[in-house]
Amino acid sequence: MARLELGAGNYTLRSQLDNKNAVGMGVFQSPGANAIELSDAVRAKMAELEKQFPQDMAWSAAYDPTVFVRDSISAVVHTLLEAVLLVVLVVILFLQTWRASIIPLLAVPVSVVGTFAALYLLGFSINTLSLFGLVLAIGIVVDDAIVVVETSSATSKKGWPRWLLRIRRCAKCPGRSSPSRWCCARCSCRWRSCRA
């Protein structure tokens, strides 16, 4: 006697999951697409289609690269919050006054928001290299802000007029002058002139 059943002509390529026959399907991201949005859309669609499956049929995602992406984003956010906290503590510790720390502390969120806005407008993706650039930018801007605030504090104690203070603040650091330093000096001048 023989047993007849409908099957494939060739079993050299087959798919199994947990030692059970399965149908393998690959979903590939097109260039420029968002991997996390694609993963969420596929999972939502499969959850919708699962209601129509036979009783003994189920689906599962054997490999999902967005798990690593989600973990990386979470780690970046966590590290960024730690970095901001450390910058706050170091700036307050070394400048020794809360009022003098305001300008450098405002430089951190401005740097982060400005960098992400520039990345978005220029079409760059957020990767390890761009995040490294963000870290460098934050360091440079905070350093510039601290130098300007220290110079401002030192020269304001001498009782000079405000217009002369502005010139002295920028002239104190001729080798390190930059647009970010000028912006910090300008903000520092505004903040000092508006205080009560």
Please, which pLDDT band fits residue 181 given cuts at 50, 70 and 90? Answer: low
DSSP class of 54: -
Tokens of 32: 């420029």
| Single-letter amino acid code for the residue at 44 | A
The pair phi, psi for residue 17, each rounded to 5°, is -135, 120
Statement: residue 177 has pLDDT above 60: no
- CA 152, 154, 158: angle at the middle one, nearest 5? 105
Per-residue pLDDT tens over the stretch 142-171: 777 777 777 766 666 666 776 776 676 666
Residue 115 parent element (H or E)? helix 98-122
Per-residue pLDDT tens over the stretch 23-75: 888 888 888 788 888 889 999 998 998 899 888 888 888 888 888 888 888 88
Domain parsing of the chain, residue ranges: 16-52, 86-194
Strands (E), the chain: 16-17, 20-21
> Per-residue DSSP letters for 37-101?
HHHHHHHHHHHHHGGGS-TT-----S--THHHHHHHHHHHHHHHHHHHHHHHHHHHHHH--HHHH
Closest CA to 144 of 108, 116, 88, 184: 184
Specify the pTM.
Answer: 0.55
Domain 86-194 has CATH 1.20.1640.10: yes
Determine the pLDDT at residue 10. 66
Determine the pLDDT at residue 185. 52
